[in-house]
Structure 1
Amino acid sequence: MPDYRNDIRKPTGILIPLLFLVWLAGCLGPVQHLYPEDEELRPVPVYIISHGWHVGIAIEREHIESFLPQHEMMPQAAIYKFGWGDGRYYPDSEAGFGLMMRAAILPTRSVIHVVGIDMPVEHYFTASTVVKVRVTEEGAQRMAEFIGDRFLLDREGNPQFAAVGLYRNSTFFKARGRYFIPKTSNTWTSRALRRTGYPITPIFAITSGNVIQQARKDGTVLRDN
């Protein structure tokens, strides 16, 4: 009698990578009800800012303020820019190779950097690459919920100050999640952008260059450095 067991196993072995490719293709595309093709239906600007190794994301205050925890050190401005990273390396403007390697290899505590901006983003970050993406109100709300939920709160529900920020109107707060490669500031930013329905694939976004490359697909480059 013929043995069909091997024939049964072979399709199963092929099915798993095929399912992965289907899933990956879904991630690459836009979420239709959140990110319609017509730009007129996407009135909210979101900014992706690359500082070299690190990428952050910015949005107008009116679209995120109600989702942010209150703190006396929270910047006040027309636009908020957010970055996520290692709790020791990110706030230290003079951090050396040792701290960089520690952040890359070991799962470490994280922080969120909040920067208040009162001018066009591309004029504030003159040495950075800035890409603008337009999203829907609902997409902006989902991104705001994602960012607001990443603050590490104390027992009273308050955000926790971590360090003075890198800019005049900025502050570091303790954040949820451990930092390590490949879970970096760049994948964090891409996950925030993905909440808007934008066609970006976070698992590819380990480097800042890849985040910017994906943002350029349907975005407008305001400054290119």
Structure 2
Amino acid sequence: MKLKNPLLFLFSVVIFAGCLNPVQNLYPEDPELRSVPVYIVSHGWHAGIAIESEYVLDQIPEHSELPDTKFLKFGWGDARYYSDPDASFWVMMRAALLPSKSAIHIVGFDIPVEMYFSGSKVVEIKITEEGAAELGEFIDQTIKKDKDENPVYYTEGLYRNSVFLESGRTYILPRTSNKWTAKALRKTGYPISPFYAFTSGNVIKQATKDGVVIQ
């Protein structure tokens, strides 16, 4: 088969391949230089990212509903579908087919990640403090702010100590919750390609390249 634009194809290959490489100044090859644990948590349909709150709180704006806990887990998705555990099939289809408002789900907890999410797949990855700060910046940029730069509350969260905040990003396929999680992990310098991360299974698969499955 003859390619219509071989230069464009080669450029695409380089770009996508480059995304698989670690960002050296954030994610050094020597594991001794990476001391901050971050966790990819898969609940089946979608995956989120968790980290000890001390590493990201300086980047995240204060909010009265933000959990004051040792760990914080973040996920992003269609606001209406994500926040309703009993959402109908039509709400799911609307999220899949139409551009819609999105929200970020923030869950707080104080016990180990694998204990709190005992029924989920969990992969642990070690990153640097600089990488954690970049993750915090990415989360901050996801949160919608009002005119006074305060986070905009959406609704209560799915867990006892959790909250949904509005996001300024539009939810539309293929911009899925899993791609958001992959982009969040990529911000730490980890060698993951968000381009391929349509499913939570792919996010987990890519995370295990240099991470440890703890559950």
TM-score (norm 2): 0.97
Give the gaps of 5 or more residues in structure 1.
1-9
The residue identity in structure 2 corresponding to 1:17 is: F
The partner residue of 2:135 within 133, 143, 146 is 143
Between the aligned partners of 2:5 and 2:79, the Cα distance in structure 1 is 42
The partner residue of 1:43 within 35, 50, 57 is 35
- CA offsets, 1:15-70, max 9 Å, x none? 11111111111111111221111111001111000000011001111100111111
Paired position in structure 1 for 2:118: 126
Helix, strand or coil for the counterpart of 1:193? Answer: helix
Between the aligned partners of 2:131 and 2:60, the Cα distance in structure 1 is 16
Paired position in structure 2 for 1:4: none
Paired position in structure 2 for 1:203: 195
* 8 Å contact kept, 2:20–2:191: yes
Instruction: After TM superposition, give the deviation of residue 12 of structure 1 in Å.
Output: 8.6
Between the aligned partners of 1:104 and 1:198, the Cα distance in structure 2 is 28
Helix, strand or coil for the counterpart of 2:94? Answer: helix
Between the aligned partners of 1:114 and 1:26, the Cα distance in structure 2 is 31
Paired position in structure 2 for 1:68: 60
Between the aligned partners of 2:31 and 2:168, the Cα distance in structure 1 is 33
Instruction: After TM superposition, give the deviation of residue 181 of structure 1 in Å.
Output: 1.4
Paired position in structure 2 for 1:21: 13
* 8 Å contact kept, 2:67–2:162: yes
* 8 Å contact kept, 2:101–2:171: yes
Paired position in structure 2 for 1:52: 44
Between the aligned partners of 1:136 and 1:31, the Cα distance in structure 2 is 11
Between the aligned partners of 2:99 and 2:3, the Cα distance in structure 1 is 38
The partner residue of 2:24 within 22, 32, 35 is 32
Q: Give matches, 1:160-175, under 5 Å.
A: 160-175=152-167
Between the aligned partners of 1:80 and 1:183, the Cα distance in structure 2 is 23
The residue identity in structure 2 corresponding to 1:116 is: G
CA RMSD of aligned residues (A): 1.3
Between the aligned partners of 1:180 and 1:166, the Cα distance in structure 2 is 22
Instruction: After TM superposition, give the deviation of residue 170 of structure 1 in Å.
Output: 0.2
- CA offsets, 1:90-137, max 9 Å, x none? 010101111111001111000010000100000000110000010111
Paired position in structure 1 for 2:95: 103
Runs (4 or more) in structure 1 with deviation over 2 Å come to: 10-13
Paired position in structure 2 for 1:5: none
Between the aligned partners of 2:110 and 2:86, the Cα distance in structure 1 is 27
Instruction: After TM superposition, give the deviation of residue 71 of structure 1 in Å.
Output: 1.1
How many residues align? The count is 214
The residue identity in structure 2 corresponding to 1:172 is: F
The residue identity in structure 1 corresponding to 2:67 is: P
